[in-house]
Amino acid sequence: MTTSATSPVTRGMTRVWWGQIKAVIRLEMKKTFFAKRGLWIYLVAALPVFLFMAYAMATSGRQHRTASLARRGEKMLAYQDLLAVKPGMTSEEVVAILGKPPLAFHWGENRPLGPGVTANVLRENYHYSDGQNDLFVDLADGKVESINIRNGNNQGQDSIMFAGVFQFFFLRLAVFFGCLGIFMNLFRGEVLDRSLHFYFLAPMRREVLMAGKFLAGLLATCTIFVISEVLQTVAFLWHFSPSAREVYLYHNHGLEHAAVYVGVTVLACLGYGAFFLVAGMLFRNPIIPAAAILIWEFINPFLPGILKQFSVIYYLKSLCPVEIPSPPGTPPLLALLISNTDPVSAPVAVVGIVVVALIALYASSLQVRRMEINYTTE
Amino acid sequence: MSVPVRPPVNAPESARIVFEGVSKFYGEILGVNRVNLSIPPGITSLVGPNGSGKTTLMNLMTGLVRPTRGRIEVLGYQTNDPEQLFAILGYSTQFDAFPKGLTGFQFLYSYLRLSGRDAHNAEQMAWRAIERVNLVDAAQRNIAGYSKGMRQRIRLAQALAHDPKVLVLDEPLNGLDPLARSEMIALFRAAAAQGCYVIISSHILHEVDVISDQVILLSNGYVVAEGQIATVRGEIQERPTQILIRCTRPRELAAKMLEDEHTIEVTIHKDEKGVLLKTRDADGFYLALNQLALNESGNGIDIESIAPADDDVLSVYEYLIGNEEVVR
């Protein structure tokens, strides 16, 4: 008769291993969060937050000026009013539609009429606002020459900008280098400090040590970069009015996107973390594997399908909730880099990253068993 | 709960620390070569000059480095199984680095938690180890502020903390003051008396002489001799045995002894109260001396004591290895 239940010895060992993993995590978290050599990681994680804060401040300032301009106008304007102005209209027609401009400039300009003949033209610029969007009307000799509408709070464009920063700065640089800094130092940092033997002298499987260190690194990177991601979202939404924020979060999938970005950040930490853990054990000089992995991730869009699957960014790109459009005229190589020509479904992407991470962790477990304490050669 | 220790794989050899044809090369540099050892319980000292392979042998024994060739077993356990090995073995290394930011107590407590002990058990065992090395007052201070001797003691505490059956101690008395040295030596003796295997590396020969049950002499990566000191000395045939005889009228005794065929050289001791003799056949010499003592007792030569003068580690070391960097 067989039984499917695990034996008491197995259960006991599992409890011991879990206790050992927790002990490793406690030691590593202290080192990871408060290490002087890791301060730059906080800076890298905070950079996009500062970027969105600066953007929010600039946008808020502009919104404030726009609202002030609207209040100073003769009429309360709607967006449709701004669209009613067309080139060729006279200044009187414009004033009839929009009222006297709250802000206007005029100046004289010499314009060539023919060879050696110029005429002095009266140029005017009217600036209107509906409280959110700005209209700039250029007039010459009392007729509208050109119009320029600057849209205020454009959630669609803002979310594409957020997606661009997330994909091209946060994922590919901040999380990438942050994981490099933390995971490559899990073993290598202690070899340099000559303190790795402390762990190797404990009655603990090397694989358990590796698992503990990896989980500690994962916890640290996830904490740092998920907090950064949440702060980025908060900073990004800062300049939205409460109603616009509500519309974005609850009706335009904003909350869903924020959750997906957090999930993608966690998966990025998992994938890059596993890569850098094994790289930190295999290489003495971290620059070589870092450069190799960075190039590998960068050239991913140009690789054949089978090779694409052995990278992290391939899966992460497929999970990103907002696709970044390539504007017309984008160079083909850049367009290829931006676009996701061969996306995979979300479940496949998640499983793909987990499998890639597991392969890297398996390689790490083989390597950690072979590791020797030989500080003099470092 | 700590790591449960499985029965050793190799039961017949499980009472010894065994090296079989072990070599270790660091690239092209020789660590140790063709080492065959079988270490019994008690205090075993590894003796040899710097670079002779003492630390390499200890690192091999504890699995911190892997042999290029050969097989090592510690009481039947493989050295590539740290989970089982370090449950029965404690190693005080020469590496003078510690995890950053830890106090002495935290260092031991963390080590014991890594060993799988629960918080309460780990705390009790950590304090017991701290008491054993007399470091209670400094236990809550950061290790970074410890003196060399205190760091040595906290490393010893780490090796002792989980009451291992095998203690491997690399230069354990370095940096300790005389009082601490004698305390530690007493500690090692107590452990050995309880059946522990205490492996000590040292180049302070008079201490090795005092504490060792057996020695392993290393030179340039090779084991040149092993066993009890007297046995090792007895096996060195090319060097005559030196015997110190304390007696009255040493000059007369010297003259008589020179007539004996076993005597090679006789020197009057500088205090004029004895003679130092060299012989190639100690047993034959003792028989001849007994005869002489019987014959000459009426002639005023009273023999007070007879003792071998060169069966200590220092002499054995000098005979086998020469006058390389050792502290007498």
Domain formed by B11-233, architecture: 3-Layer(aba) Sandwich (3.40)
* CB spacing of A375 vs B95 below 8 angstroms: yes
Q: Is B255 on the interface with A (CB under 8 A)?
A: no
Say how many domains are in chain A. 2
Chain B CB contacts of A31 under 8 Å are 99-101
| Residue A237 sits in the same domain as residue A354 | yes
- Is residue B100 within 8 angstroms of chain A, CB to CB? yes
Instruction: Name the nearest CA neighbour of A286 among A187, A364, A172.
Output: A187
The verdict on A377 touching B (C-beta cutoff 8 Å) is yes
A369 interaction partners in chain B (CB closer than 8 Å): 80
Distance from CA of B110 to the nearest CA of A (A): 7
What pLDDT was estimated at residue A118? 84
The answer to whether residue A1 is domain-embedded is: no
B75 touches chain A (CB under 8 A): no
Please judge whether A201 and B86 are an interchain contact, meaning their C-beta atoms are less than 8 angstroms apart.
Answer: yes
Q: How far is A199 from chain B (nearest CA, A)?
A: 8
Among the partner-chain residues A24, A203, A377, the one whose CB lies closest to the CB of B3 is A203
Inspect the interface and report whether the beta carbons of A201 and B91 lie closer than 8 Å: yes
Residue at A67 is within a domain: no
Q: What is the DSSP string of B240-278?
A: PEEEEEEESSHHHHHHHHHTSTTEEEEEE-TTSSEEEEE
Give residue for tokens 């017949």.
B12
- Check if A75 contacts B (Cβ < 8 Å): no
Q: Hey, is the C-beta of A86 within 8 angstroms of any chain B C-beta? A: no
Residue A177 lies in a domain: yes
Q: Is residue A2 part of a domain?
A: no
Q: Chain A contacts of B65, Cβ < 8 Å?
A: 372-374
Residues facing residue B202 across a β-bridge: B47
Q: Is B236 on the interface with A (CB under 8 A)?
A: no
Torsion, Cα of B262, B264, B268, B273 (10° steps): -20
Hey, which residues does B91 pair with through a beta bridge? B168
Closest partner residue to A200 (CB to CB) among B64, B66, B110 is B64
- Report the alpha-carbon distance of residue A165 to residue B34 in Å, rounded: 61
Residues A114 and A169 occupy one common structural domain: no
For residue B327, give the DSSP letter. Answer: B
Contact B108, B126 (CB under 8 A): yes
Does a structural domain hold residue A43?
yes
Rounded Cα gap, residues B199 and B213, in angstroms: 10
Q: Give the domain range for residue A120.
A: 73-150
Cα A146 from chain centre: 37
A194-213 burial by CB neighbour count: b if 16+ within 10 A, else e?
bbbbbbbbbbbbbbbbbbbb
CB contact under 8 A, A19 and B118: yes
In our burial notation (b when 16+ CB lie closer than 10 A, e otherwise), range A165-177 reads: bbbeebbbebbbb
Q: Tell me how far apart the alpha carbons of residues A19 and A3 are, in angstroms, rounded to a whole number.
A: 26
Question: Which of A23, A34, A373 is facing B114, going by the closest CB pair?
Answer: A23
Residue A96's Cβ-count burial label (10 Å; 0-12, 13-18, 19+) is: exposed
Give per-residue pLDDT as tens, B11-41: 545 689 999 999 999 888 899 999 999 999 9
| DSSP annotation string for B135-203 | -TTTTTSBGGG--HHHHHHHHHHHHHTT--SEEEEESTTTT--HHHHHHHHHHHHHHHHTT-EEEEEES
What is the reported pLDDT for B50?
84
pLDDT at A41: 93
Flag whether A3 is in a domain: no
Tokens of A278: 């094994």
- Quick one: A117 and A135 in the same domain? yes
Residue of A nearest to B99 (CA): A195
How far is it, in rounded angstroms, from Cα B213 to Cα B198?
10
Longest dimension (CA), chain A: 110
Out of A12, A195, A203, name the one closest to residue B97 (CB): A195
Alpha carbon distances (Å) from A31 to A178, B122, B272: 15, 21, 68
Alpha carbon of residue B127 to chain centroid: 27
- Cα–Cα–Cα angle for B272, B276, B278, rounded to 5 degrees: 160
Backbone phi and psi for residue B280, each to the nearest 5 degrees, phi listed first: -90, -15
- HSE toward the beta carbon, residue B209, CA cutoff 13 A: 16
Residue A80 sits in a domain whose CATH number is 3.30.1450.10
B317 in reach of chain A (CB within 8 A): no
- Report DSSP state, residue A7: P
Q: Note whether A193 contacts B100, CB cutoff 8 Å.
A: yes
Q: Which of A198, A203, A375 sits opposite B99 (nearest CB)?
A: A198
Compute the Cα dihedral for A333, A339, A341, A343 and give only its sign: positive
Q: Which backbone phi and psi does A154 adopt, to 5 degrees?
A: -100, 100
In a shared domain, residues A202 and A346: yes
Which residue numbers in chain A have pLDDT < 50? Answer: 1-4, 378
CA distance B216 to A120: 108
Same domain, A36 and A183: yes
Among the listed residues B84, B65, B66, the one whose alpha carbon sits nearest the alpha carbon of residue B76:
B84
Provide, as residue numbers in chain A, all residues whose Cβ is less than 8 Å from the Cβ of B64.
197, 200-201, 372-373
Residue A1 has a pLDDT of 42
Indicate the helix (H) or strand (E) that contains B293: helix B282-296
Q: Which CATH architecture has domain B241-309?
A: 2-Layer Sandwich (3.30)
CA nearest to B70, candidates B33, B122, B104, B124: B33
Alpha helix (H) residue ranges in chain A: 8-34, 39-72, 79-84, 91-98, 155-165, 176-193, 197-200, 206-237, 242-246, 254-282, 287-298, 305-308, 313-319, 332-338, 346-370
Q: Say if CB A26 and CB A212 are below 8 A apart.
A: no
Helix axes A206-237, A8-34, angle to 10 degrees: 50
Locate B181 and state its tokens.
Answer: 């040295």
Nearest CA in chain A to B31: A374
- B116 shares contact with chain A (CB less than 8 Å): yes
Residue from A7, A185, A201, A213 to probe the interface with B (highest B Cβ count within 10 Å):
A201
Give the CA count within 13 Å in the CB-facing half-sphere of A268. Answer: 35
Considering only CB atoms, B97 lies closest to which of A27, A194, A377, namely A194
Neighbouring CB atoms inside 10 A of A150's CB total 12
B10-27: burial string, b at 16+ Cβ within 10 Å, e else: eeeeeebbbbbebbbeee
Phi-psi region of B272 (alpha: psi -120 to 50; beta: other; left: phi over 0): left
Q: Name the residue facing A372 among B64, B82, B85 (closest C-beta).
A: B64
Characterise A194 by phi-psi region: left (phi > 0), alpha (psi -120 to 50), beta (else).
left
Selected for mutation to probe chain A from B74, B75, B114 (highest A CB count within 10 Å) is B114
Contact A29, A212 (CB under 8 A): no
Alpha-carbon span A258 to A264, nearest angstrom:
10
Sign (positive or negative) of CA dihedral A337, A339, A344, A345 = positive
Q: What's the longest Cα–Cα distance across chain B?
A: 76
Tabulate helix, strand, coil % of chain B (nearest 5): 40, 30, 35
Domain boundaries, chain B: 11-233, 241-309
Is there a single domain that holds both residue A316 and residue A336? Answer: yes
> What's the distance, Cα to Cα, between the start and end of chain A in Å?
55
The per-residue pLDDT string of chain B (328 residues; one tens digit each, 9 = 90 and over) reads 566 666 665 554 568 999 999 999 988 889 999 999 999 999 999 988 888 899 999 999 999 999 999 999 999 999 999 999 999 999 999 999 999 889 999 999 999 999 999 999 999 999 999 999 999 999 999 999 999 999 999 999 999 999 999 999 999 988 888 888 888 999 999 999 999 999 999 877 777 777 888 989 888 899 988 887 777 666 666 677 788 888 888 888 888 888 877 788 888 888 888 888 888 777 787 787 777 777 766 667 778 888 777 777 677 777 766 655 554 4
- The one-character DSSP state at B51 is T
Residue contact B80–A34, C-beta within 8 A = no
The residues facing B17 across adjacent strands are B39, B74
CA distance A176 to A1: 52
User: What's the half-sphere exposure (Cβ side, CA atoms, 13 Å) at B17?
Assistant: 27
Identify whether the C-beta of residue B199 lies closer than 8 Å to the C-beta of residue B55.
no
Is A12 in Cβ contact with B116 (below 8 Å)? no
Residues of B in contact with A193 (CB under 8 A): 97, 100
